[in-house]
Amino acid sequence: MINQPIDPFFRRLFIVVGMVIAIYLLYLMLPVITPFVVAFVLAYLFNPLVRRLSKYLKRWVAIIIVYSTITLGMALLLWWLIPTLWYQLQAAWEYLPKVLSWYNQVVREWFVSNTPMRLPRLESKEFSDTLVDYMQTNYKFSDASTLMSQVIASSMIFINNAGLIVLVPILTFYFLFNWDKRLHTWKMALPAPYCERIIHIAQECDRALMAFIKGQLLVMVLLGVIYAVQLQLIGLELGLIIGMVAGIASFVPYLGFGIGFIAAIIACLFQFGLDWTYLALVVGAFLVGQAAEGYVLQPLLLGDKIGLSPLWVIFAVLAGASLLGFVGMLIALPVSAVLNVLFRHLYAYYRSTDFYKGRKQLLLFPKK
């Protein structure tokens, strides 16, 4: 029997169809894959701590100690944070009458005096009625049965999400427990001629990524403390929550400053009115925070971990937001740190080629 070779066209078509089917299946399984991805990222972040402790203890004991320490730290943080945030949120809710009064007396009057527009006057009761009408119109709470069905559907979604949240620590434990074995398996699967080079590049990416993540987390915490302390000293009632949000949002460049600055100015106007002294103090607080971030925190804690200019940083954040939305903004800089390492190695390889050195040229216009 003669073996007939497969036509290259059908071979490529088979590969393309297989890739499309695989991508479609991954898309359908995205809710299942997501907790595994989250668990892998958490295991990657916790592995250095577990590795250090496992030198003196069994690995599973080290994992439990890391879990217990993180859980205790989060519990203490929430124990201190929740009452404070509750007070801040109550203060924010009490600002609603002030917001409506400012709108009616300042914004509406300015439009009436300077433009032909006639904005409606808002009152607290009318605002509540409008909110109820909006909920009934958009969420169709026309009767009790519809309301109950909506509540049950929301409850099922919450239960599913809660199940996935509970699953993440379990998956993280198994990832951490067999981390070194998996790394060894992946290492043995690499092609022998390129194994050393691939491991060297992977280690360099790992160092850049871990240094960036650790430094960025410290910058977020310290910057949030700087903003919150300054706003509290100024006397801004919402200073704590605004400062914390600004510090957390600083993971995305310029986002934390923008959100915190706008929120602090609005809160200052509602609390103190058009008082230029307090406005200047708020502006000065954020200028101090930006100076501390740019000249102290980032140089000391981050240094040149990414190696990208501010223009490329802004481009990376905008590109990540365009591709994956808010998640893309969060992962834009860590991914850029890895891509920067890969690009440097690719550029070094390019400069070592005969094409770069002029020994071999690409004939774009061959002689006839």
DSSP 121: P
Distance between CA atoms of 309 and 215, rounded to whole angstroms? 18
> If residue 44 lies in a helix (H) or strand (E), which one and from where to where?
helix 30-53
Q: What is the DSSP letter of 299?
A: I
Say if residue 351's pLDDT is above 90: no
Looking at per-residue pLDDT, the higher value among 89 and 353 belongs to 353
- Residue 44 main-chain phi, psi, to 5 deg: -65, -40
**Interacting residues of 108 by C-beta distance below 8 A, sequence separation 6+:** 119, 121
Instruction: Summarize the confidence of residues 148-166 as an average pLDDT.
Output: 57
Tokens of 308: 């990208």
pLDDT of 118 above 50: yes
The answer to whether 256 touches 249, Cβ cutoff 8 Å, is yes
Over residues 167-212, the pLDDT tens digits come to 888 888 888 888 888 888 888 888 888 888 888 888 888 888 888 8
Determine the pLDDT at residue 341: 85
Question: How many whole angstroms separate alpha carbon 95 and alpha carbon 91?
Answer: 7
Question: Residue 217 in contact with residue 305, Cβ under 8 Å?
Answer: no
Residues 227-254 have pLDDT tens digits of: 988 888 888 877 888 888 888 888 777 7
Helices 310-351, 195-234: axis angle to 10 degrees equals 170
Query: What backbone phi and psi angles, to 5 degrees, belong to 118?
Result: -120, 95
Average pLDDT over residues 25-47: 85
The secondary structure element, H or E, covering residue 133 is helix 124-139
Q: For all residues of the chain together, what is the average pLDDT?
A: 77
The one-letter amino acid code at 28 reads L
pLDDT band at 151 (very low <50, low <70, confident <90, very high): very low
* pTM of the entire predicted model: 0.66
- Residue 21 has a pLDDT of 93
Q: How many other C-beta atoms can be found within 10 angstroms of the C-beta atom of residue 276?
A: 8
Tell me, rounded to whole angstroms, the distance of Cα 303 from its chain centroid. Answer: 20
pLDDT (0 to 100) of residue 32: 80
Confidence at residue 126, expressed as pLDDT on a 0 to 100 scale: 56
Residue 328: Cβ within 10 Å count: 17
What is the rounded distance in angstroms from the CA atom of residue 167 to the CA atom of residue 163?
Answer: 6
Q: How confident is the model over 248-301, as pLDDT tens digits?
A: 888 777 788 888 888 888 878 777 766 788 888 888 988 988 888 877 777 777
Place of tokens 């088979």: 14
- Rounded-to-integer distance, Cα 35 and Cα 30, Å: 9
120-133 residue pLDDT tens: 666 655 555 555 55
How many Cβ atoms from other residues are within 10 Å of residue 43's Cβ?
21
Measure Cα distances from 255 to 220, 246, 301, 320, 346 in Å. 12, 8, 19, 14, 32
